[in-house]
Structure 1
Amino acid sequence: MSDREEDGTVRPLTLAWVGRQLDTGERIVTTEALHGGITAEMRRLTVRRRDGSTRDLVLRTFVAPTFVEQGEDLLNRESGILALLAGTGVPAPGPVAVDPTAAHCEYPSLLMTHLPGRTAYDREGVEARVPLLARQLVAIHALRPAERPRTYEAWASADALVPPEGADAAVWAAAREVIRRPPPPYEGRFLHRDFHPGNVLFDGPRITGIVDWVETSWGPADLDVAHCSTNLALLHGPAWGFRFAEAYEEAGGVLAAAPDERLYWRLLDALSFASIAEPVVGPWRQAGRTDLTARAVEERLDAYVTALMDTPGGVR
């Protein structure tokens, strides 16, 4: 039994709460489910103004028990970051209202402005998109907020690592030992922390929005680069993981100087995907990448980890 609403329906209490955030004379005329997320329900709400024109809002709702428990921290963090990003030049949604403890809604919810564009997962055009992604991430890392966000959290653990079925046991054992080391020293940067093609909106040849700022953190630029690299490696093949790191440096970004330090951050991210292939691949398949089965993604992950261990700094 699931509490998730897979269509565009907005629950009654939440709908009433959203209505109280609208301007006088405005009303919601349509609601639509936005697919592509893993942790929350996303809805686009079309609002008709008094003069007959319309505007769109986006509603994020946490319904899974794990995220409901964390909802207060997650949504307060995201709404605060969205407010901080206003006027920075980074194309992020604007916060409208937040109910992080579900005091008014059925579940913890965040209402924000809607950005134009769509996600792009297709192999066609990836050559042009990668430099755009890299330049955007360099711009994010250049932000120097008056108040730093929380320190990053690692999403992989050497002790909890379970390699995919059929993976090279020796390679993964060696990779496990790499991330068992203490983190290398780093110069802190403002991190999106979940920067990847699924959280970037495109309109033709330009980026129109960066969404999902729930995990924003302070940490090494390498970690943000590693996360986008892993996603590209799984979407398009291991070579694209390496290509993104190159594009980031070509755009003026600075990564760790020592090969073993770069390897640490890349593996810390890549290994976090070892047991989550199925939920990760779901949004990609919904977006049309039906070639990407969970098994195919696991095989690409194994190939990417193997390729990383063959780079300078690896121990193969």
Structure 2
Amino acid sequence: MNDIHEQELPERVRAWAVRAVDPRARVLSAERLQGGTSSIVHQISVGIGKEVKSFVLRQFHKKDWLEQEPDLARHEAEALGQAARAGVPTPEIIAYDETGLHCGLPTVLMTKLEGNVVLNPRDMKPWISGLAEALVRIHAVEADDFPWAYFTYQNLEGLEIPEWSDKKDQWKMAVDLVRGPRPEVRPCFIHRDYHPANVLWHGSTVSGVVDWVNACRGPAGIDIGHCRVNLAQLYGVAAADAFLSAYLVHAGASFCYDPYWDLLSLMDILFGPPEVFPGYIALGMTGLTDRLMMERLDEYMVSLLERFDL
């Protein structure tokens, strides 16, 4: 059997995919996709007679993640079903192997969306507006009956002031704020990992949103905050602020902004000194350094504190 980490998919996985798509099908090619770091993702081209279709096969291989969330494959499968209600193109679930009984690892097979990740747009303003509008559409989906609920990745009581920053007084204020009472919000359907590398484009139009394994019922502000902290690291505070402004325009009266969720989203990514996300490098984003990430996170944190009535 081939090693699952190699480009070639094991025969048992190919056979499972074929059975799920069409017993008459045959796998023409399987290409490892770049950019993802939390799972192994392949694009599979399948021939059915004279027709060729493309699918995405995702396998969850990180033991620590599976120990915490053993239902990852089922979670993504059901999230894709929920996401289909949004007015944004999303992958269609074909099949999933929740325990890895058939594929060796928990696996999800889904349709492949057209489009590409764009990290260096020619014009930032419409690009940011498109990111924001797609997220507003996602948040319009009701999620009262969706079984997965939002939780923070951090133990807030155990948060420490970042050693890498020289703005320790401001970070202390930020930590104290996130430990305080949370604003009351009505939960909606959230992506939970919404950032530019999970949004596909065709020309100047969003052609799809991918990577739904973390989707849950929770506060819209968490999605906005997660995207903003990613934008702040990629381009600076101005881009993060432009995204918030665009979201507020598209959402209108349906959303009430509170900087608490931005601050909580920032804290949720602080696991050691900031580092450049490998996925951004794999997707062609150059010029980023760990030092730049630190500087931009400091600047972003200070900008958030200025939004509070202290």
For structure 2, which runs of at least 5 residues remain unmatched after alignment?
Answer: none
Amino acid at match of 2:307: T
Q: In structure 1, what is the Cα distance between the partners aligned to 2:213 and 2:166?
A: 32
Please give the secondary structure, in 2, of the residue aligned with 1:273: coil
CA deviation digits over 1:22-69, x for unaligned, max 9? 313311111111111121011100111212x31100000111211333
Q: Does 1:191 align with 2:190?
A: yes
Q: CA RMSD in A?
A: 2.1
CA contact (8 A) 2:228 2:240 kept: yes
C-alpha deviation, 1:71, in angstroms: 5.7
Distance 1:146 1:66, change over 3 A: same
Q: In structure 1, what is the Cα distance between the partners aligned to 2:165 and 2:84?
A: 47
Distance 1:238 1:149, change over 3 A: farther
Q: In structure 2, what is the Cα distance between the partners aligned to 1:152 and 1:20?
A: 34
Distance 1:279 1:12, change over 3 A: farther
Please give the secondary structure, in 2, of the residue aligned with 1:39: coil
Q: Does 1:75 align with 2:61?
A: no
Amino acid at match of 1:30: S
Q: Work out which of the residue numbers 295, 300, 316 in structure 1 matches 2:296.
A: 300
Correspondence 1:273-292 to 2 at 5 A: 273-275=269-271, 281-292=277-288
Match of 1:124 in 2: 122
CA contact (8 A) 2:119 2:285 kept: yes
Calculate the TM-score normalised by the size of structure 2.
Answer: 0.91
Q: Does 1:247 align with 2:246?
A: yes
Match of 2:24 in 1: 25
C-alpha deviation, 1:127, in angstroms: 1.8
| Aligned residue pair count | 306
Match of 1:99 in 2: 97
CA contact (8 A) 2:276 2:293 kept: no
CA contact (8 A) 1:162 1:275 kept: no
For structure 1, which runs of at least 5 residues remain unmatched after alignment?
Answer: none
C-alpha deviation, 1:132, in angstroms: 0.7
Distance 1:30 1:55, change over 3 A: same
Distance 1:202 1:164, change over 3 A: farther
Amino acid at match of 2:130: L
Q: In structure 1, what is the Cα distance between the partners aligned to 2:89 and 2:82?
A: 12
Distance 1:164 1:126, change over 3 A: farther
CA contact (8 A) 1:142 1:190 kept: yes
Q: In structure 1, what is the Cα distance between the partners aligned to 2:86 and 2:245?
A: 25
Calculate the TM-score normalised by the size of structure 1.
Answer: 0.90
**In percent, how many aligned pairs have the same letter?**
32
CA deviation digits over 1:233-271, x for unaligned, max 9? 1111011111111111111244435xxxx2211110012
Match of 1:271 in 2: 267
Correspondence 1:108-147 to 2 at 5 A: 108-122=106-120, 124-145=122-143, 147=145
Please give the secondary structure, in 2, of the residue aligned with 1:59: strand
Where has structure 1 moved over 4 Å in runs of 4 or more? 276-280
Please give the secondary structure, in 2, of the residue aligned with 1:252: helix
Please give the secondary structure, in 2, of the residue aligned with 1:156: coil
Correspondence 1:6-17 to 2 at 5 A: 7-17=6-16
Distance 1:58 1:162, change over 3 A: farther
Q: In structure 1, what is the Cα distance between the partners aligned to 2:144 and 2:265?
A: 28
Please give the secondary structure, in 2, of the residue aligned with 1:297: helix
Distance 1:107 1:280, change over 3 A: farther
CA contact (8 A) 1:155 1:269 kept: no
Match of 1:55 in 2: 53
Q: In structure 2, what is the Cα distance between the partners aligned to 1:250 and 1:87?
A: 22
Q: In structure 2, what is the Cα distance between the partners aligned to 1:59 and 1:181?
A: 41
